[in-house]
Structure 1
C-alpha cells in the first residue's frame, strides 16, 4: 500500500442518516478511507441500512469497516424493521451472563445482515454508586451494567464481547481507562472531564481486562483526563495511557480507536490535524470523526508528519497493519 492508502485506513468517518451515501461513497473511494460509522439515528430498518452499506463497500472495494453504536437503551443508532429494540446495559445485567451472550449474538446477527461488521459496544466503564446519574456520559443513561461493581461489569462486558464475536461482528470495549468517575460528557463539554482517581492497577480497569481476555479486537480510548496516569495529556493523546497502560500493562495488541474527535467539545482546542497525529503518535490506530469534512486536513497532517518523522511513519505503518489484520479476521481482505 502507498503511504496515502495506509493513512486512509486510519480514519473512520460518519454517515449521517440525513446525509448523502453517494457523496460519502465518492469520498471513501477518493481518499481511500478505511472505515465508516452510521450516526444520527437510523430508523428506517435493516433493508435501508444494508443498501447504504453495500454502496459504501462497493466504493471501498469490499474491505470497509462499517460500524454502529448499538449498546441498547438510549444508545442504539439502528432501529426499525429488522433491528430488535433492546434495553440498556443496566437492564441487560438483570439476566444471566449466559442469556446476555445469547441475546447479543442474536442482536449482532441483525447487524451483520445489515452490513455492519463493527459494534462500538460494550461499555466497560464503572460508575461509583455515590455518583450515579451525576455521571453525565454513562450513569445518566444507564449505560453501565452495574453501578459500583467492576466485577459485575467485567462479567457482562465479557459476555457481550463473546456474543458479538459469535456473530462475526467485532465488538469494541469502551471508554478506556474509564468514564465512570467524571461528571462531564466529553462530547458536549471540556469541563468536568478530569478523573483524579484512576491509576494503573485500579480495580475499575477490570472490565476492560475482561473484555480483552474475551477476545475484543478493538478498544476505544476516552477523551477525558487522568492525571494519576498522565498529568499532561488527555487519554486520547497519551502514550502513557495507550502504549504503556493499555498495550503494555494490559497486553492489548488489537486496534485502538478514538471516541469522536470531530465534533467533541473536549478536543475542540486542538486542531483537527493535530488530533489525528497526536493520537497515532501515542500508539492509536483509528481516528473517529463524525464530520467527513475533517478527513482532508487530518490526512494532510498525517502525510506531512510522515515526511518529517521516520518514527511517526513507522507508527502509521504499524497502525495500518493492525487495522488490516482486523479486516483479515473479519474476512474483508486476504493476505
Structure 2
C-alpha cells in the first residue's frame, strides 16, 4: 500500500525511531538488474515457501469451506490505530476480515504491541495478515526502544548493499517478533533527479532508493529476500510507479503519469522484486493514460491484469493503496471501490477507515451473488490472500 504521507498531518501514518544495525563484515555481490520479462513463477524466499503440494492442498481445503460472506471478508484489509487495535475486534469478527493495517505512530514496547496484536487476532476466523508501514525515514509506524530509527530509502540506496540488507533484516525480525506478517514496503518507485522533492508522494520524503531505475532494481533485489527470510512478507509499491507524478493521490485526484508505458524502464524495480519473490504488489491510485486512458490504475484491468499479471508474470497477491480516505477515489461509492478493484484482477482491498468494512463486504457479496463470473474472480482473489497467509505460516493446516 502506499504509505499515508505526512504532508497531510491529520492522516499521517508514519514515524521515526533509534539506530540502524551494524552491517555484516562482507558485502554481498551486486545483483543483476532484470529485464521486464520475468518468469511466470518467480522464485520465492525459502523461509516463507512451503512445498507446492502442501500449500495447494491447504489453500484449497481452506478456500472450499469459506461461505460467500467469508470470501468477501478475506479480501479486505481494514485499518486501525496501532496503539488501540482492540477497537477493530468486532469488525474483524463480524466481517471475517482477511487482514488489518496498523496505522499511526507508536512508541510502545514490543511486548505491549505483541499482546495487543495477539488479542486482536483472536477475533478472526482465520489468522490475519497484520501489516503496517515500516519503510524508514518519515514513514515508520513503530519507534521507541525496541524499534530503531531506519534511514530513509534514498540514504540506504546510496550506501553499501550490506548495510541495506542488514538494516532490512533487523527491522523485519523485530516486526515478526510482535506478530506483524506484512510490511507495506519496499518502495519500488523511481523519482527522476530532475524532479526530486517536487514529487509529493515519494521524492519530497526521500522514500525512493534512487533516481536510476537500474539502481533501484538492485536495491529492491536486496530488500525483498532480506525481509522475507526474516518472516515478513514484502509489498512492492506503488505499481506501475508514483515517481513522476506531481500530485499526491491522498490529497488530489490529479496525480497523472503521462510517460509510463508497458516497456517503461521505471518498471524494472517492480520486475526485480517479482523475480526476488515478493509476496505482494500494491497498485497506485494515479492515472497512466498511455496504459489505460479511461480510469485510475486501481480499477484498470489493462494495468492490474494485462501488465502486472500477464506481461510481468506476477502470480502473488495484488492489493490496493488506501482506497478509504484517498481523495483520488472519493467520487466512487465505497462498496464499488472494492468491487471494481477485484473485477480488474486485484485481490486485497486496503482502507484505513473501519467503517468501510461493511459497505465493501456487502457490495462484494451482492455482486458475487448476481454474477457468476465475478463470483469466480472473488474466489480467485481470496485464494491469493490464502496463499500469502500460507506462505507466512498462518493457515491452520
TM-score, with normalisation over the residues of structure 1? 0.97
Match of 2:121 among 57, 64, 69: 57
1:131 matches 2:195 = yes
2:319 aligned counterpart, secondary structure: strand
- 1:299 aligns with 361
The equivalent residue for 1:158 is 221
- What pairs up with 1:166-181 in 2 under 5 angstroms? 166-181=229-244
Compared CA separation, residues 51 and 103, structure 1 to 2 (3 A): same
Instruction: Tell me whether 1:273 sits opposite 2:335 in the alignment.
Output: yes
Note if 1:212 corresponds to 2:274.
Answer: yes
Residues 1:80 and 2:139 aligned together: no
CA drift at 1:21: 2.8
Partner Cα distance (2:326, 2:108) in 1: 27
Aligned-partner SS, 1:124: coil
Report the equivalent of 1:190.
Answer: 253
- Matches of residues 218-233 of structure 1 in structure 2 within 5 Å? 218-233=280-295
Partner residue, 1:69: 133
Equivalent in the alignment of 1:44: 108
State the partner residue of 2:73: 8
Question: Cα RMSD between the aligned structures?
Answer: 1.1
Give 2:322's aligned residue: 260
Provide the rounded CA distance (Å) in 2 between the counterparts of 1:249 and 1:62.
33
Tell me the alpha carbon deviations over residues 30-78 of structure 1, each in whole angstroms, 9 at most, x when there is no partner: 2100100110112223222212210111111561100010000000011
Structure 2 residue aligned with 1:97, among 128, 152, 161? Answer: 161
Q: Secondary structure at the match of 1:174?
A: strand
Q: Secondary structure at the match of 1:60?
A: coil
Query: How many positions carry a matched residue from both structures?
Result: 332
CA contact (8 A) 2:203 2:243 kept: yes
2-structure distance, mates of 1:203, 1:76 = 28
* 1:144 counterpart residue number: 208
Contact 1:46–1:80 (Cα < 8 Å) also in 2: no
Tell me, in whole angstroms, the C-alpha distance in 1 between the residues paired with 2:126 and 2:309. 29
CA distance in 1, matches of 2:157, 2:265: 19
Matching residue of 1:107: 171
Aligned partners of 2:109, 2:283: CA distance in 1, in Å?
A: 30
Greater RCO, 1 or 2 (C-alpha within 8 Å, sep 6+): 2
Q: Unpaired runs of 5+ in structure 2?
A: 1-65
Does the CA-based 8 Å contact 2:156-2:163 persist in structure 1?
no
SS of residue matched to 1:257: strand
Structure 1 CA distance for aligned equivalents of residues 95 and 248 of structure 2:
31
> What residue ranges of structure 1 are gaps of 5+ in the alignment?
none
